[in-house]
Amino acid sequence: MIVAILVAEAAFWVFLLGGLVLRYLAGARRASSAVLAAVPLADLALVALVGVDVARGAEPTRAHAFAVVYLGVTVAFGRPLVRGVDAWFRHRFAGGPRPSKPAKGSTAEVRALWHEWFRLVAAALIAAACLLVMIALEGRPLPPTVEAAATHPCWAVLLLLALVTAVWFLAGPAFAGRGDPDLDETRDERSTSRGRAAAR
């Protein structure tokens, strides 16, 4: 199962980078769209493999659990990742604008922190739903204690997801405040000035 996760990750990047190379270096836009549309296929194949394996009676392992976590992460973070890589490719090879980040302490940065955390929550919920299905298929009762849950691969990963989500919240948006809107205006003004300079 670990090999399957690595193959799925490799396939994700092959489809993504291959599609961008076709789009920005080869100028084959239709072919690039077809290749980029195949990016989710690696995740679907991994889910199918996990589902078939467990349905056939295989005892869930940590590898199965981390496979569904990988699915949740790619579903929640896949689109922003693809957009970011696409923006970098467009800047590097097609004369597009340089990708920019929100100014530190700005309201835009605070919004980005919240959006990122909500994506993590979505990833955790997707993974948790899959893990609970695996637990139901296994047919074992609820663990009586947290210590017992920590020894079971699926329950242990569920606990880990809750911990990571809480820590990410505390390290990210929890104490970020509302941000300074003046910093957003400064960044906007700089971007406008650079655009005017480039036009000249």
3-state SS, one letter per residue, for 141-194: CCCCCHHHHHCCHHHHHHHHHHHHHHHHHHHCCCCCCCCEHHHHHHHHHHHHHH
- pLDDT of 193 reads 45
Query: pTM value?
Result: 0.79
Would 35 be classed as within a structural domain? yes
Would 155 be classed as within a structural domain? yes
Would 28 be classed as within a structural domain? yes
- pLDDT of 119 reads 95
- pLDDT of 185 reads 62
- pLDDT of 6 reads 81
- Sequence-distant (6+) residues with CB within 8 A of 45 are 8, 11
Q: Strand, coil or helix: what is 139? A: coil
- Could you tell me the two tokens for 95? 């004369």
Place of tokens 């809750």: 162
Please give the distance of CA 76 from its chain centroid, rounded to a whole number.
Answer: 5
- pLDDT of 157 reads 92
- pLDDT of 1 reads 67
Would 186 be classed as within a structural domain? no
For residues 162 and 120, the answer to whether their CB atoms sit within 8 Å is no
- pLDDT of 164 reads 95
Would 196 be classed as within a structural domain? no
Q: From first to last of the 200 residues of the chain, give the pLDDT tens digit.
A: 677 778 888 888 888 899 899 988 888 888 888 888 888 887 778 777 877 777 777 777 888 888 888 888 888 998 888 889 989 988 888 888 888 888 888 888 889 999 999 999 999 999 999 888 888 877 777 888 888 888 888 899 999 999 999 999 999 898 888 877 777 665 544 444 444 444 34
- pLDDT of 116 reads 94
- Could you tell me the two tokens for 22? 């076709």
Angle (CA) 53-73-126 rounded to 5° is 65
Please tell me the total count of domains within the chain. Answer: 1
Backbone angles phi, psi at 91, to 5 degrees: -70, -45
- pLDDT of 123 reads 94
Would 172 be classed as within a structural domain? yes
- Domain housing 154: 2-178
For residues 122 and 196, the answer to whether their CB atoms sit within 8 Å is no
- pLDDT of 198 reads 40
- Could you tell me the two tokens for 77? 């973070």
Would 118 be classed as within a structural domain? yes
Q: Residue 90 class from Cβ within 10 Å (0-12 exposed, 13-18 middle, 19+ buried)? A: middle
Number of residues in the chain: 200
Would 195 be classed as within a structural domain? no
